[in-house]
Amino acid sequence: MPSRRRLLVGVGTTAAILTGTYATLAEENSDRVDWPMARYDPAGTGSNPEASGPKTAVELAWQRDTDSPMNGLTAPILVGETLYSVGQNALVAFDRNTGEIQFERPGSYWSTPARAEATAYRSATLAVNSRTGIYGLSADGGYEVFGQSIGTERWHTPGQDTSNWSSSPAHKPSPVAANGLVYAVIPETDRVAALDASNGQRRWEQVVGQERSTGSNRPAVLDGTVYVSSRPGDLVAFDAETGATHWHVTSEPRADSSLRYRNFRPPTATEAGLVVPDREGIALFDRTDGSLLWDYHHAGNGTDGSAAVADGTVFVTDGDESLHAVDLETGEREWTADYSPDTDPVVADGVVYLGYQMPELVAIDAETGERRWTYEDSTYFTQPIVGDGVLYVLGSEGLMALREAS
């Protein structure tokens, strides 16, 4: 039976259609902008130059709950007319204009999916990490017959079995899709693999760093190279087609640091270099050989999240009290803004959006660091994504679409 929240949303949906709310939203979204994977693109920039979101004030366009609890830390993705969201219990597809549920399929998935071209199928593959390996899911959902899901899971590449029950939120490094391949860290290992998006066959598989390496992060892919970092401070560049190692560096901690290792977070690949946050700062490495270009020290406690890069500026949270804007070329600070959680910023049309396990979603001016608006109508928010004037985010009450307030 649908939940009370869902029934209320259904009533609101009817009223909104009668008043033309959804028609207006559809007109605003006439030029489609996608957000097909975590951090938007294979490079992990967290920025779509074609996207835009609410700038000065925000209001709820629609909200949709699901039969399966979607609590977790995974951001949705946006492909064409469909939003996809996963959780520990289901894959759910929503209409981007109305929030109507297109399909809901059972399954336990632990990362934001990545849309990948699958030549063997008419529809794309959604690559997603789980506790037991990488799954390739049908973007059209397959079929549901007598309550059973058929054809939703196209392939499965096993990892180390960690299927014991856990109450912790779903959170694993998200796969990256590029040129018909899926690049993913095998769960509970420090191995990165290139998988065929149609059948899951491994093109190659490599160990990240040295034997002591733990906690490999989401890969970044740019210009035929796959970059992977690990928490002890290993940074490795692999050939995207063959898996051959181009270079491998192990960065020493800063001279004034009490830490034994750099504790790298996920990298972001740019033309200027490889942007890699760590616990106490952020550094730029040369993409050709891994040499250090500049090192910005914020003296924070950044244990999670990645850096967004847009218009020559790096945006990163320090896990303590601030969001930092750093010049990509020089490593010099441009500004800081008050923001406590450690997260993955996203940027669109001059605005930085942040949300993560906190009862507020915020928008900050990318040029000045001034807060533009705050939205607090949820117990928690996942990381948001941005479309055509609309911000999409999963909260405690379901998936939400937020637009500029009228």
277 compared with 5, residue with greater pLDDT: 277
The reported pLDDT for the residue numbered 71 is: 62
pLDDT at 52 over 70: yes
What is the average per-residue pLDDT within 139-164?
80
Residue 102: burial class (beta carbons within 10 Å; 0-12, 13-18, 19+): middle
What token pair was written down for 75? Answer: 């951001």
Task: Report percent pLDDT > 90 for the chain.
Answer: 65
**Whether the model pTM is above 0.85:** yes
Listed residue (235, 228, 269) closest to 249, CA to CA: 235
Average pLDDT over the chain, rounded to an integer: 87
CA distance 294 to 375: 36
264, amino acid identity:
F
Contact 96, 84 (CB under 8 A): no
Average pLDDT over residues 193-197: 97
Highest mean predicted confidence (pLDDT) among 297-306, 352-361, 387-396:
387-396
Element (H, E) at 7: helix 4-19
Lowest mean per-residue pLDDT among 2-6, 119-123, 332-336: 2-6
* Domains defined along the chain, listed by start: 4-404 (2.130.10.10)
pLDDT value at 99 more than 50: yes
Q: State the amino acid at position 315 in one-letter form.
A: F
Are the C-beta atoms of residues 264 and 276 closer than 8 Å to each other? Answer: yes
Angle, vertex CA 323, rays to CA 320 and CA 329, nearest 5: 125
pLDDT category of residue 378 using cuts at 50, 70 and 90: confident
Report pLDDT digits (tens) over 109-148.
889 999 999 999 999 999 999 888 999 999 999 988 877 7
User: Which stretch of DSSP H or E encloses residue 69?
Assistant: none
Reading the block at residue 61, the tokens are 């366009």
The rounded distance, in Å, linking the Cα atoms of 221 and 228 is: 9
φ/ψ of residue 81, rounded to 5: -90, 5
pLDDT of residue 396: 83
Predicted confidence at residue 167, as pLDDT, reads: 43
DSSP characters for 364-380? EETTT--EEEEE--SS-
